[in-house]
Structure 1
Amino acid sequence: MMNKFFLIFIAAVALLPILPTPEFWITLANYIGLYSIVALGLVLLTGVGGLTSFGQAAFVGLGAYATAYLSTQFGLSPWLGLLVGIVITAGAAFFIGAITMRLSGHFLPLGTIAWGLSLFYLFGNLEFLGKYDGISGIPPISIFDLTLNTGREMYGLIWLVVILAVVAIQNLLNSRPGRAIRALKGGGVMAEAMGVNTAWMKIVIFVMAAVLACISGWLYAHMQRAVNPTPFGLNAGIEYLFMAVVGGAGHVWGAILGATLLTLLKDQLQVVLPKLLGANGNFEVIVFGVMLVVLLQYARDGLWPFVRKWLPQKRQVSAPESADALPMRSKHAAGETVLQIDKARKEFGGLVAVNNISFDVKAGEIMGLIGPNGAGKSTMFNLVTGVLPLTSGEVRFRVGNQLQRIDGLPSRSIVRHGIARTFQHVKLMPTMTVLENVAIGAHLRGTYNDVNGIGASIARWNRKEEQVLLFEAKKQLERVGLGNMLYEEAGSLALGQQRILEIARALCCDPTLLLLDEPAAGLRYKEKQALADLLRKLRAEGMSILLVEHDMDFVMNLTDRLVVMEFGTKIAEGVPTEVQEDEAVLEAYLGGIE
């Protein structure tokens, strides 16, 4: 967190109602705070998690209507109304999220529009909610003997919620589950391979964003003392998303910046545009649309990155100098079969990508999987790690003293058994530091799970765990020769260094079998030598390694055995010297391997 900026921000917020500030300014500040709370949820959901939602205004409505109905019809405390509203909203969001978060591409935003409109029309058609006239006579919030009757009195509570939301989201994002959430935007394949339950994480952030919107609705209802469906429709949902995007959807402080700019701009445009055009109407929406198009052309990350350049910054996540060592799983006994591929077959329609292939990987050996481009090597990796399902055949992995079938298991379950991997096309989070990228690999090695870890991260109860995980990431980076780049953005590294980063991330999973997909691609000669030395050291420690590689000198000098594939079929298997002389291999490589 930027400590100095944060303190200045709190001081400015605290001073505003104390100074002789006009009531209109206080009213605007209250609305900015209410909008900021919703936009903060959208930063978590859309900017960080990559899940676009146009329906957050409907969740604002759930919070507002829940407290309005309970406080006017039954005389219940607004605080009980808040609790009931959160329960209803969280339940509705969980149900809606379980359905819509499975959607991808343009189907997801369309789905959010659908349920947003559904809730809006539900508010307007239910008799007990007053239909489109809504509910009036909502009582004010009381805190002990203090009753918040006016906007100036509500101001403190609204901005206290904003500050708490900022702290909570920043604490979450700078933690183990936070790194998993940020990895969602990369598509999820890498996150699942590191043990993240991406479907669950999507629902979690969807529910969190909905609860923040609900709290904003609760504050709105007791500030306005009346509610009707109008502020909870699709237009409001679009405006909330505008605020997050304009400020910077990937930045926590961008939510407040966006809410501030759009609220102030909207207020001025509603006065100026009718005078200029000589007619009344929501002309500000046109200006917002044009502004968004320009912003997406020239500042896709929003305006906050430009502001941040002028602010003092402090590193948010750093590794400790020392920490407790994480427990490590025992390596398999030398010579044991660790991985067994039995007649594995993968068909894509009429195309056979892997054709009934069988081979074993022994404990403490390096096996190479080689062949021309399109031979099916990476597909085989994806079959072993659960990214793709088998059409037929079996994949077994040694768990304890037995070989168990792992085909049919998701990636996150397979890595739990001790199989870690890198990717043919590097998969990392370019804006996260090298340290944080590697720490994702230790996701399953924390003491908190994906359920209780969220609350622990928000409350900072997991600080000891974080130190241990970050120290492990630092140790693995030093092991692979990237110890001097801990705090560089991963996207700034050369391709070869990014591949080494992926190996460090895989080692953070504490695997007994390491799958490396073209690890030497992009490396210079000395870097390849260093990588070969590292892999030999891992082998000496009992690690089993299966690698795909096109650099034949690298492969021949490193591997114990080779499997050669061509057009999805195994054409040879044996030690490197035998494979080099195999006629089928020579023919497949159009001239041989030297």
Structure 2
Amino acid sequence: MRKLWHHKFFGLFLVVVFALPVLPHPVHVPEYWITLLNYIGLYSIVAVGLVLLTGIGGMTSFGQAAFVGVGAYATAYLTTQYAVSPWLALVAGIVLTVFVALVIGAITMRLSGHFLPLGTIAWGLSLYYLFGNLEALGKYDGINGIPALRVLGVSLESGRSIYYLIWLVVFGAVVSMQNLLNSRPGRAIRSLRGAGLMAEAMGVNTTWMRVVIFVYSAVLAAISGFLYAHLQRAVNPTPFGLNHGIEYLFMAVVGGVSHVWGAILGAAILTVVQDYLQTLLPMLLGQSGNFEIIVFGVLMVLLLQYARQGVWPFVARWFPRGPRAHVPEHAEPLARRAKPAAGELLLAVDRARKEFGGLVAVNDVSFEVKAGQIVGLIGPNGAGKSTTFNLVTGVLQVTRGQIHFHGERIDALSSREIVKRGIGRTFQHVKLLPGMTVLENVALGAHLRGSAGVWRSIARLNATEEGRLMAEAAQQIRRVGLEQHMYDEAGSLALGQQRILEIARALCCDPTLLLLDEPAAGLRYQEKQRLAELLRKLKAEGMSVLLVEHDMDFVMNLADQLVVMEFGTRIAHGLPQDVQNDPAVVEAYLGGVE
């Protein structure tokens, strides 16, 4: 029913938007409102890209107006100077935009914190002044005489005639964005904001993914610029400066920076409010100053104060939707890696050492994990357990020593290269995407088991693979006993269930070795018992586990082998009953417990 309501909203919106220009008298829409709707559509295309880049990808950009200028100037220059077809000029503009965005993105997207928005301001201003100083582009006078677009022999000379093309592009941008977000790369993109470490551990190349969404948002801005140039039939640098870049970002934020439909709503709100203020305030306060800028700023501050998630969440209550992802009835299973024979050596840590300046966090630690074993890595706080764990998973690199997995040296590999070889992991502090369903969170673990990229996902050419990934995620959810929560948001689960969910996500990587970082931390007794039962079940299925844990009762009753650390050094290694009676362990950790 929820999904049906969403489709009704989409259909209603389409009917209203595309029927407006042809309404008969007495409700005929005047040319002024058609012009206003055209600009709302143009701004919406840019704002949709900013929703992807800023709201979902977590990268604030003030420079999108410059990419609008790249698209506008490309078609203006080629169509007026060389009589190139506007549609060929569009292709050329997109190619140019991709090249410029790749160069800028490769540098800018490596920045973080306040350096990133400052970087976008810098290149935005650079392109703006480039437009205004190049003789070939007419300097600040710009380029005039841009030809009208023609579609199927029909000339789109008037605002009313180009209206349909603009809004077709708007809906194409919305649909393509929703297709992308509900896909394998889309889940990776949604993990960029605040969960980059987890995404890397699932095999996502977060640096490249940031560049990809930067390029895609730039392409949408360039398409908007192309349409703007043929609507206006002239371009100059003014609409492509920093002020307009800030306005585009405002549109995305006001509408709802994490919501695709919010981009259209935000563009409509800002465009109408600005137009209304420019008409009303001079009548009230006179023509002597730009009072509309002051009032507009106050209104924006108030809006952001009382609607911090934007306006769209309030509207969306009337049109709720169901879960984005669903498990298909029939799907071909994903390929699985061969399981090692019981007792085969999987992981060998050989005199691993990690130094942070003068601090030795891990001091020449050695241990092994064999197939079919549960090995516990224990010790008091500050013993170096988590650092050792991060050395094995590639989060940190060893200062000295070696780590081998299946006979291959892995201590110089990145997290995503290590998970590719069959090591799955969970985290000490749960790292989930709380707004995504349990199914989607677990499916993120199968990222490396799919191949569909951004462009296939946008075009919806990934349906078969997506079905297989969802079926695999559902299987792992059933395997850990969370099937009743499959379509619940991950943030709504209890802590114990979230830790189980992390294990399901790690299992979706199809690992031969599972690394669990304090999985029982914060759990109640019964939750610990259920977790222990799950780990025994996984061991019976042939899974090998390396476990970092503080709860001694939990570890003693579960592990086949224990490694005890203190101050970065291994002080004991062996069977749980032998380790428990080791004098060094009793003194350092157990405190004399019988």
2:421 — aligned with what? Answer: 417
The one-letter amino acid of 2:510's match is D
SS of aligned partner of 2:253: helix
Instruction: Judge conservation of contact 1:3–1:314 (CA < 8 Å) in 2.
Output: no
Deviations 1:478-536 (A, max 9, x none): 11111100111111111111111100000000000000011112333232222212212
Instruction: Judge conservation of contact 2:323–2:437 (CA < 8 Å) in 1.
Output: no
2:574 — aligned with what? Answer: 574
Instruction: Judge conservation of contact 1:429–1:490 (CA < 8 Å) in 2.
Output: yes
Q: Separation in 2 of the partners of 1:49 and 1:297?
A: 23
Q: Separation in 2 of the partners of 1:292 and 1:392?
A: 55
The one-letter amino acid of 1:566's match is E
Q: Separation in 2 of the partners of 1:592 and 1:277?
A: 82
1:157 — aligned with what? Answer: 165
SS of aligned partner of 2:361: strand
Residue 252, structure 1, aligned to residue 260, structure 2: yes
Instruction: Go from structure 1 to structure 2 and tell me whether the alpha carbon gap of 1:544 and 1:144 turns closer, same or farther (over 3 Å shift).
Output: same
Residue 28, structure 1, aligned to residue 32, structure 2: no
Match of 1:9 among 6, 10, 13: 13
2:248 — aligned with what? Answer: 240
Instruction: Judge conservation of contact 2:195–2:431 (CA < 8 Å) in 1.
Output: no
Q: Separation in 2 of the partners of 1:418 and 1:212?
A: 38
The one-letter amino acid of 1:460's match is R
Instruction: Go from structure 1 to structure 2 and tell me whether the alpha carbon gap of 1:489 and 1:70 turns closer, same or farther (over 3 Å shift).
Output: same
Alignment of 1:320-335 (within 5 A): 320-335=328-343
Match of 1:442 among 446, 450, 461: 446
The one-letter amino acid of 1:418's match is G
Match of 2:229 among 221, 241, 250: 221
Instruction: Go from structure 1 to structure 2 and tell me whether the alpha carbon gap of 1:77 and 1:341 turns closer, same or farther (over 3 Å shift).
Output: same
Alignment of 1:3-402 (within 5 A): 3-19=7-23, 20-398=28-406
Structure 1 position 124, deviation (Å) = 0.3
2:480 — aligned with what? Answer: 480
The one-letter amino acid of 2:432's match is L
Q: Separation in 2 of the partners of 1:593 and 1:64?
A: 75
Q: Separation in 2 of the partners of 1:283 and 1:24?
A: 23
Instruction: Judge conservation of contact 1:116–1:233 (CA < 8 Å) in 2.
Output: yes
Instruction: Go from structure 1 to structure 2 and tell me whether the alpha carbon gap of 1:234 and 1:465 turns closer, same or farther (over 3 Å shift).
Output: same
Structure 1 position 397, deviation (Å) = 0.6
Q: Separation in 2 of the partners of 1:520 and 1:263?
A: 52
Structure 1 position 377, deviation (Å) = 1.1
Structure 1 residues not aligned, in runs of 5+: none
TM-score by length of 1: 0.97
Q: Separation in 2 of the partners of 1:462 and 1:592?
A: 59
Instruction: Go from structure 1 to structure 2 and tell me whether the alpha carbon gap of 1:393 and 1:16 turns closer, same or farther (over 3 Å shift).
Output: same
Deviations 1:330-374 (A, max 9, x none): 111221211111111112222221111111111110000001112
SS of aligned partner of 1:344: strand
Instruction: Go from structure 1 to structure 2 and tell me whether the alpha carbon gap of 1:189 and 1:312 turns closer, same or farther (over 3 Å shift).
Output: closer
Structure 1 position 288, deviation (Å) = 4.1
Residue 537, structure 1, aligned to residue 524, structure 2: no
Q: Separation in 1 of the partners of 2:127 and 2:275?
A: 27
The one-letter amino acid of 2:127's match is L
Instruction: Go from structure 1 to structure 2 and tell me whether the alpha carbon gap of 1:593 and 1:16 turns closer, same or farther (over 3 Å shift).
Output: farther
Deviations 1:182-238 (A, max 9, x none): 000124100000011111110110000000000000000000000000000000000
Structure 1 position 148, deviation (Å) = 0.4
Q: Separation in 1 of the partners of 2:400 and 2:290?
A: 60
Structure 1 position 279, deviation (Å) = 4.2
Instruction: Go from structure 1 to structure 2 and tell me whether the alpha carbon gap of 1:593 and 1:273 turns closer, same or farther (over 3 Å shift).
Output: farther
Instruction: Go from structure 1 to structure 2 and tell me whether the alpha carbon gap of 1:41 and 1:282 turns closer, same or farther (over 3 Å shift).
Output: farther
Instruction: Go from structure 1 to structure 2 and tell me whether the alpha carbon gap of 1:593 and 1:24 turns closer, same or farther (over 3 Å shift).
Output: farther
Deviations 1:295-341 (A, max 9, x none): 44332221111110111423321122442211111111221211111
1:408 — aligned with what? Answer: 412
Query: CA RMSD, aligned part only?
Result: 1.3
Q: Separation in 2 of the partners of 1:311 and 1:592?
A: 62
SS of aligned partner of 1:185: coil
The one-letter amino acid of 1:337's match is L
Q: Separation in 1 of the partners of 2:243 and 2:216?
A: 22
1:431 — aligned with what? Answer: 435
Structure 2 residues not aligned, in runs of 5+: none
Instruction: Judge conservation of contact 1:473–1:508 (CA < 8 Å) in 2.
Output: yes
Deviations 1:54-98 (A, max 9, x none): 000000000000000001111111111101100000110011000
Structure 1 position 423, deviation (Å) = 0.2
Q: Separation in 2 of the partners of 1:592 and 1:276?
A: 83
Q: Separation in 1 of the partners of 2:517 and 2:111?
A: 29
The one-letter amino acid of 1:573's match is H
Q: Separation in 2 of the partners of 1:83 and 1:390?
A: 48
SS of aligned partner of 1:215: helix
SS of aligned partner of 1:36: helix
Instruction: Go from structure 1 to structure 2 and tell me whether the alpha carbon gap of 1:278 and 1:518 turns closer, same or farther (over 3 Å shift).
Output: same
The percent of aligned pairs where both chains have the same amino acid is 72
SS of aligned partner of 2:502: helix
SS of aligned partner of 1:16: helix
The one-letter amino acid of 1:16's match is L
The one-letter amino acid of 2:417's match is S
Instruction: Judge conservation of contact 1:440–1:505 (CA < 8 Å) in 2.
Output: yes
Q: Separation in 2 of the partners of 1:234 and 1:447?
A: 38
Aligned residues: 586
Instruction: Go from structure 1 to structure 2 and tell me whether the alpha carbon gap of 1:294 and 1:358 turns closer, same or farther (over 3 Å shift).
Output: farther
Instruction: Judge conservation of contact 2:331–2:467 (CA < 8 Å) in 1.
Output: yes
1:494 — aligned with what? Answer: 494
The one-letter amino acid of 2:18's match is A
TM-score by length of 2: 0.97
Q: Separation in 2 of the partners of 1:544 and 1:187?
A: 26
Q: Separation in 1 of the partners of 2:538 and 2:324?
A: 32
